[in-house]
Amino acid sequence: MTAARSAKRMEAALRAAGYRLTPQRAAILAYLAATGSHPSARQVYDEVRQTYPGLSLATVYNTLGILVKSGLLKVLEFELDNRYETNLTPHINLICTRCGKIQDLVAPLPISAEHLADKVGFQVLDYRMEYYGLCPDCQGRIKNRQSATKINKGEQYEQS
Amino acid sequence: MTAARSAKRMEAALRAAGYRLTPQRAAILAYLAATGSHPSARQVYDEVRQTYPGLSLATVYNTLGILVKSGLLKVLEFELDNRYETNLTPHINLICTRCGKIQDLVAPLPISAEHLADKVGFQVLDYRMEYYGLCPDCQGRIKNRQSATKINKGEQYEQS
DNA sequence: TATTAATCAATAATGATTATAAATCAATAA
DNA sequence: TTATTGATTTATAATCATTATTGATTAATA
Ligand SMILES: [Mn+2]
Ligand SMILES: [Mn+2]
Ligand SMILES: [Zn+2]
Ligand SMILES: [Zn+2]
Residue B30 in domain: yes
Domain holding B62: CATH number? Answer: 1.10.10.10
Residues in chain A with CB shorter than 8 Å from the CB of B110 are: 92, 107-110, 129
Residues B13 and B66 in one domain: yes
Q: Torsions phi, psi of B134, nearest 5?
A: -115, 125
Residues B38 and B108 in one domain: no
Across the interface, do A120 and B94 touch by the CB < 8 Å criterion? yes
Domain holding B132: CATH number? Answer: 3.30.1490.190
- Quickly count: other Cβ atoms within 10 Å of residue B95's Cβ: 24
**pLDDT one-digit tens code per residue, A78-90:** 988 999 999 999 9
Average pLDDT, whole number, for chain B? Answer: 86
CB pairs under 8 A between A and B: 121
Residues B82 and B95 in one domain: no
Residues A75 and A139 in one domain: no
Whole-number Å distance between alpha carbons of A71 and A61: 15
Q: Which of B103, B121, B133 sits opposite A124 (nearest CB)?
A: B133
Note the pLDDT of residue B62: 97
**pLDDT one-digit tens code per residue, B123-159:** 999 999 999 999 999 998 765 543 333 333 433 344 3
Residues A74 and A35 in one domain: yes
Where is average pLDDT lowest: A2-11, A119-128, B5-14?
A2-11
**pLDDT one-digit tens code per residue, A26-76:** 999 999 999 988 999 999 999 999 888 888 898 999 999 999 988 899 999
Q: Examine the fold and report which residue of A46, A66, A87 is the final residue of a domain before the chain moves on.
A: A87
Residues B1 and B63 in one domain: yes
- C-alpha A158 – ligand 3 centre gap (Å): 9
Note the pLDDT of residue A7: 84
Q: Where are the alpha helices (DSSP H) in chain A?
A: 7-16, 23-34, 41-49, 57-69, 113-115, 136-145
Across the interface, do A107 and B111 touch by the CB < 8 Å criterion? yes
Q: Examine the fold and report which residue of A61, A87, A113 is the final residue of a domain before the chain moves on.
A: A87
Residues A2 and A80 in one domain: yes
Residue B68 in domain: yes
Q: Is the pLDDT of residue A153 over 70?
A: no
Across the interface, do A125 and B135 touch by the CB < 8 Å criterion? no
Residues A44 and A122 in one domain: no
Report residue A15's pLDDT band, with 50, 70 and 90 as the boundaries. Answer: confident
Please, what is the Cα angle at A122 between B37 and B6, to 5 degrees?
A: 20
- Quickly count: other Cβ atoms within 10 Å of residue B96's Cβ: 24
B20-45 mean pLDDT: 96
Report residue A5's pLDDT band, with 50, 70 and 90 as the boundaries. Answer: low
Residues B11 and B47 in one domain: yes
Q: Examine the fold and report which residue of B39, B60, B87 is the final residue of a domain before the chain moves on.
A: B87
B37-55 mean pLDDT: 96
Note the pLDDT of residue A144: 54
Residue B160 in domain: no
Q: Which domain holds residue A148?
A: 89-153
A53 touches chain B (CB under 8 A): no
